[in-house]
Amino acid sequence: MTTDSFLCFSGLFLLLFAAPFVVRGDTAGVATQWRSLSHVQRTLGVTNYLWNGESLCFSNTQNVIRFYPGRRKAEVNGTVVWLNAPADGSVADGNWRLAGTDLDLLQLAILTPPGGTLKPLRVLLDPGHGGDDEGARCSSPLVKEKDLTLTLAKRIGAQLKKAGLHVDYTRTRDVTLSLDERARIARTKKADLFISIHANHACNREACGVETYVLPPSGYPGTAEGSRARGWQLGNRNDFHNTLLGFSIHRLLASTPETVDRGLKRQSFFVLRETCCPAVLLEFGFLSNTGETRRMLRADWQAQSCAAVVDGVLAYVRGVPALDRAVADKRARDAEANERWRKHLAAQAARAKAEAEARAARQLAAIMPAGAPPPSTAPGTTFSNAVASVTPPIQQQGTNSVPSRMDALLEFYAPDKVQ
């Protein structure tokens, strides 16, 4: 099921995956750090860009990346990727900018070239729904989502095993599993990555295509209109790996014949935010679309789509070493920058303190009587305390008496002494 199904009764079960937390459907709750057009150019390693009035294109010999100002949609080498925040500003006015989070994920997780060896990671396949929960369905031909997802999961699992990976399943038969149980199985099995398999449904019977979902970074809303931003979730510790896994699978799945690319998207589905390992949720097609349902039943479509998922997983596994190095380098740079900033703030505070003390000393010198001893300079001495140290106290002569200085003033202004 996808976000198009939120208005349909048959798609209401997906709302359980994406219950709202706080804040509006924007980036309120997170202080977005923006990157200028020139910064994006340097990061992507391009010397030029093309603005055609509708989209902004960066390209070099390896990559072609396209942004749409004011929108969250982007394209990376022809694959649709939805951003966490809309590209902001105007190219014509020279103030176009991109969220730093999106640039980091693009640079490190999507554009980092794979080059590692294939390690026998443990993959947990999660056929969506099951038992009492049928999921979406098509009445003609009769297809239940719970049955289709189990078929696809078994085909994908068999191919992953042949490739040398360890494979587990949340279910291998028609049983009911809660969302919490699925996440718990991932922890129990110590999965290295988690793939939840689904088929879509929408009120619009013409809706079609494949979608891949990963968890939004902390503080950002999901791709679906009206989604609300969440705070940090368990799955957010894998933000970079989630994106690499999602893009590695989606770019191949979306390029299979007769497939419409609906994009790599982001949503706080339960199994994405509560799973401890990198995780994706795949929507293979729409059971509300009769033509697409028939296509998903074809043996050739299933073979091609499952092979695309397998190849995407293998690409992810090979890409993890490079991603780990890139993320470690980024964190080291961030830690160094944070330390420089901490020292800068400490120096600023020390200068401000010294200037305040010098200012207090000048003010104190201006009011000190000639020949008076210097005021206390002990640590913690304030200007008011220093003034008190050189100003003779007003002597009290009793509860109902007037201070001695005030007695002298009253005597001076006595009627017989006023000129």
Residue 7, pLDDT > 80, answer: no
What global pTM score does this model have? Answer: 0.79
The CATH T-level fold of domain 3-14+114-328 is Aminopeptidase (3.40.630)
Band of pLDDT at residue 413, cut at 50, 70 and 90: very low
Alpha carbons 106 and 103: distance in angstroms, whole number = 5
Give tens-digit pLDDT for 161-171: 999 999 999 99
Question: With b meaning 16 or more CB within 10 Å and e meaning fewer, what string describes 14-29?
Answer: beebbeeeebeeebeb
Write out pLDDT tens, residues 290-332. Answer: 999 999 999 999 999 999 999 999 999 999 999 999 999 988 9
Q: Which two tokens stand for residue 191?
A: 């999965």
Q: What is the pLDDT of residue 366?
A: 83
Q: Per residue in 120-132, is it b (16+ CB within 10 Å) or e — as a string?
A: ebbbbbbbbbbee
DSSP designation for 105: I
pLDDT in tens, 220-250: 999 999 999 999 999 999 999 999 999 999 9
Q: 335: exposed, middle or buried (C-beta count within 10 Å: 0-12, 13-18, 19+)? A: exposed
Q: Which residues pair with 75 in a beta bridge?
A: 66, 80
Judge contact between 49 and 37, C-beta under 8 A.
yes
Q: Is 342 helix (H, G, I), strand (E, B) or coil?
A: helix
Bond preceding residue 375 cis, omega within 30 of 0: no
61 conformational bin, left if phi > 0, alpha if psi -120 to 50, beta if neither: alpha
Strands 142-144 and 166-169: unpaired
